[in-house]
A and B are shown apart, each in its own frame.
Chain A
Amino acid sequence: MPASFTSAADLIRLLPEIILTVMGTFLMVLDPILHKRSSRAFGHLSILALAGGIGGSVYAYAHAGPAFGGMLMVDGFATFFRVLVMVVGILTVLPSYRFLNRQDAETSEYHALLLFSIAGQCLMAAANELIIVFIGLEISSIASYVLAGYLRDDKRANEASLKYFLLGSFATAFFLYGVALIYGSTGSVNLIAVRAAISGQNAPEPVFLGLAAALMFVGLGFKVSAAPFQIWAPDVYQGAPTPVAAFLSAGPKAAAFAVFLRIFMTAFEPIGGGWEPLVWISALLSMTIGNFAALLQSNVKRMLAYSSIAHAGYVLVALTARSETGTAAAMFYLAAYALMNIGAFAVVSHLSGRGERYQNIDDLAGLGQKQPLTAAMLAIFLLSLIGVPLTGGFFGKFYIFKAALDSHLYWLAVLGLLNSAVAAYYYLRILVMMYMHEPGEAVEAVEPLSLGLRAALILPAMGTLFLGIFPAWVLDFAGKSAALVK
């Protein structure tokens, strides 16, 4: 242990978390002063904080290196995920202006909780020690439990919040037990030290290690909503306020996958042959259960929830590959997925009306006639979710299956491709509903796009197309960062 506890370099490397936490606290203090008079200011301030956080993480990357005695590792990998979760944050705030206004629920807590949750996710992205992972995970989760039940008089939101809370804490306990076993068997919780202990001369009991890895897999599996730990996702996404559901489907998931990659590719890499079958099965189950259950849904949010389970399955395919290309593919896919999914949820948020009445697939009927721009944006997101060329989703899937083939996972790749074909059906159903039916009650009642919503649709759509046309730019960075996770 070094004598001096913190240095300026340490603090610079923690800059994004500091900015978000300070601004979140500031927002809560500001609430009684500004309340009701200019509630839009809360939104502006949180966008400012997130933009500052992105700037902060880029600045931290310029001073890359370990911080706080190796507890944090600020490298390309951490920066990639930090920027990703903060972009997700901005894209969550943008549609929230109109949403909160419509539900008469404009307070600063909403934005403060969002910032705290994102701060936790940034910490997870940079964590290099299992206890820090745990703390980041809990900062992120506890704030998002509250966010899920933010509309506290809404029965569905309560239920979503309760289910998310109970299953989330249950999962965390599993993860933590895994951490304790790792601590006991290797004497350390630092990922690099754990790796050294596992591959060293007197390696710990394989039974202990296997148990620890399995427990941590269960915990993280819950967080990324991978089958067979996916049961909470549909209820939570359906019941939570739509912008929050969008956030939950992208932010915490990306951060949990970041942790997943770091733990399993760094610390548990030497026992890779042991955990590979577990991830293989989970990947296949997630894809199959997610896609087939999504076929049966009539509620759009619920359908997107099942589709997000399936997408977690695709990312797990990349993890199963256990290679640098696999890690890079997972990173690229998570970026593309975050943009397209959050965009699709923004459309649902726009359409749902007061009290979130309109959430069914039928309610989208005729959107193409009434609001061509909204419909066109949703079409881009859906085509990307299917994986049509020229969209980010296509290259995401392409790189994932390529990584799987490179690692000789032929069956998994074939089954994954078949799954994507099934998925096309339920996304196309929405497209048909939008363009080939007469406008229904919901679409007739839809308001014109507000400025925030317009930005919330156009920005991710541009991002999706950018990833689809110039994938190399992001993929190169992902590839370089993936090499660091070793």
Chain B
Amino acid sequence: MTEVPISWFLTLSAVLFVLGVAGFLFRRNIITVFMSIELMLNAVNLTFITFSYQLKRVNGHLFAFFVMVVAAAEAAVGLAIILTIFKNRGTLNIDDVDSMKN
């Protein structure tokens, strides 16, 4: 049985990361924008795991766990912030959240 080459994993995670960036920049719904950030973080996790496997070192796995914990904390705070936005404005379109200009 042949193994899947390392570079495929790295390419996949790079593609996921770029998709996340694109989603962040072009999507207009706040929840989708937030999900794009999560996608970016998970792309990074995949990179960590791949390198960890390649280097035969376990610390990359640990880093992925740290990232997951931080992402969970970020999601808790982020969803709370999005909720207050919705409560005060009744919209989740990012272009409508623009009240400060000179």
Contacts and interface: CB of A to CB of B under 8 A. Distances in A.
Contacts of B20: 173
A156 B99 contact: yes
A169 interface: yes
Is chain A's binding surface mostly helix, strand, loop or mixed? helix
Interface string A83-119: 0000000000000000000000000000000000000
B19 interface: no
A204 to B, nearest CB: 12
B47 A184 contact: yes
A239 B100 contact: yes
A39 to B, nearest CB: 22
Nearest to B47: A180
Contacts of A161: 81, 84
Interface stretch (A296-304, A318-326, A458-466): A296-304
Interface string B45-64: 00110110011010110010
A159 B102 contact: no
B102 A169 contact: no
A9 interface: no
A72 to B, nearest CB: 15
Contacts of B63: 131, 179-180, 183, 189
A180 B44 contact: yes
Contacts of B40: 170, 173, 177
A234 B33 CA distance: 21
Interface in A253-275: none
A145 B85 CA distance: 13
Contact of A158 (B43, B67, B81, B98): B81
Given A184-B47, A184-B51, A155 B78 contact: no
B97 interface: yes
A297 B64 CA distance: 44
B70 A134 contact: yes
A211 to B, nearest CB: 10
Nearest to B14: A177
B71 to A, nearest CB: 9
A-side interface size class: 35 or more
Interface in B28-42: 30, 33-34, 37, 40-41
B77 interface: yes
Contacts of A169: 37, 74, 78
Contacts of B88: 153, 155, 158
Given A138-B70, A155-B89, A165-B81, A170 B37 contact: yes
Nearest to B50: A184
B44 A176 contact: yes
A138 B17 CA distance: 19
A177 B47 contact: yes
Interface in B66-80: 66-67, 70, 73-74, 77-78, 80
Interface string A294-331: 00111100100000000000000000000000000000
A157 B17 CA distance: 30
Is chain B's binding surface mostly helix, strand, loop or mixed? helix
Nearest to B41: A173
Interface string A164-205: 011001100100110111011001010000000000000000
A300 to B, nearest CB: 12
Contact of A142 (B34, B74, B82): B74
A179 B62 CA distance: 14
Contacts of B70: 134-135, 138
Given A131-B66, A166-B33, A183 B81 contact: no
B81 A180 contact: no
A159 B66 contact: no
Contacts of A158: 81, 84-85, 88-89, 97
A33 B46 CA distance: 45
A239 B99 CA distance: 10
Nearest to A302: B102
Contacts of A170: 24, 37, 40
A165 B43 contact: no
B37 to A, nearest CB: 5
Nearest to B33: A166
Given A155-B88, A183-B48, A134 B66 contact: yes
A180 B63 CA distance: 9
Interface in A120-134: 131, 134
B74 A297 contact: no
A181 B51 CA distance: 9
Given A131-B66, A187-B55, A238 B100 contact: yes
A146 B74 CA distance: 11
Interface string B79-97: 0111011001100000001
Contacts of B102: 296-299, 302
B100 A145 contact: no
- 3 smallest CB-CB distances across A and B, nearest first, come from A184-B51, A173-B40, A180-B47
8 contacts: A134-B67, A138-B70, A158-B89, A163-B97, A166-B34, A176-B67, A180-B63, A183-B51
Given A162-B30, A173-B41, 15 more contacts: A131-B66, A156-B99, A158-B89, A162-B81, A162-B82, A163-B97, A166-B24, A166-B34, A169-B74, A173-B37, A176-B44, A177-B44, A180-B44, A180-B48, A299-B102
